[in-house]
Amino acid sequence: MFSFRSLKLKIKQQTGPFGYRTLGQVVLNSYAHRRDRNPLQACSCVCCTTWMKLIDNNTVPIEAELPLTIVNR
């Protein structure tokens, strides 16, 4: 049996001391990327391959300086 592993990032903006709004979600190594590939093969696009270490090792903390810019390539 195999499993699809992906990294999902929810992008949120803090609107006050106790509030936030969701700006969107980024899914790396998603099923849509692998549509023409064998399900056992991971996505090989530029965006996903840069995140494979985080997908394989989920103990690595993710930190980013704001403003965070996501570029669709």
Tens digit of each residue's pLDDT (9 = 90 or more) over 15-65: 888 888 887 777 766 666 666 766 666 666 666 665 665 555 556 555 555
Tokens of 71: 């570029």
Q: Where are the domains of the chain?
A: 7-56
- Are the beta carbons of 25 and 32 closer than 8 angstroms? no
- Exposed/middle/buried for 54, CB within 10 Å: 0-12, 13-18, 19+? middle
pLDDT of res. 1: 45
For the CA atoms of 42, 43, 44, 46, the dihedral, rounded to the nearest 10 degrees, stands at -140
